[in-house]
Homo-oligomer: A and B are copies of this chain.
Amino acid sequence: MRSYGQYCAVAKALDVIGDRWTVLIVRELLLRGPSRYTDLRDGLPGIATNLLAERLRALEQAGVLVREDAPPPVATTLFKLTARGEQLRGVLDALGRWGTPFMAEGPAPEDRFRQHWMAWPVQMVLVDSRPQEAPVTIELATGEELRIAIEAAGGEIHARVLRSEHPDAVLAGTPYAILSVLSGGVPLADACEAGLRFEGDERVLARVQPQAIAAAAA
């Protein structure tokens, strides 16, 4: 990208990550960890393949990521964030926090979706209201291949990609329906009548839902 030519910390940061698609490439690497070119492409619906290649080159040159040759027998290239690249998590978190309200309107007609993108709204809205109890995990299922699990443990909420788990609860349905239930905006029973599927212990769900309404009532 053309530099702003300003001796300013914000402008210098944008000189590196201000290009179109660049921040979203970092998003994929933060959520997925070291990734192959093809997997990045799959997590970035709409990107032109030449742009992805060019951005990866620029980010490598800027010291944000490194290329790694995976050992045989896979023998593929992995793109991996450097320590400096990992520090961009603060920028992505701030953007995700500011952008989460836009999720409340539901997806636009043409919007594409990948399940792991829910990590940000989920961490924004949920709380662990019973930190002293044993950790619990809730699996989210929207029909996508790359799933995430919400983990409540010790007062903190984490969302991470799901490998092979035995969750305490499962929420299956559209992303909007899942977010509506998690945020407490729609009661679970109503959502289930509208097609959401829930398995497991309802108390696990209540543990992580925001308590603003309950607190206001008390």
Contact = CB atoms under 8 A, between A and B. Distances in A.
Given A88-B98, A96-B13, A112 B27 contact: no
24 contacts: A4-B24, A5-B45, A5-B108, A5-B111, A6-B24, A6-B112, A6-B114, A7-B117, A8-B99, A9-B95, A9-B103, A10-B23, A10-B27, A10-B96, A12-B103, A13-B95, A13-B98, A13-B102, A14-B24, A15-B102, A16-B99, A90-B97, A91-B98, A93-B94
A188 to B, nearest CB: 22
Interface in A131-182: 175
B45 A6 contact: yes
Contacts of A14: 23-24, 95, 99
Contact of A99 (B13, B103, B113): B13
Q: Does more than half of chain A's interface fall in helix, strand or loop, or is it mixed?
A: helix
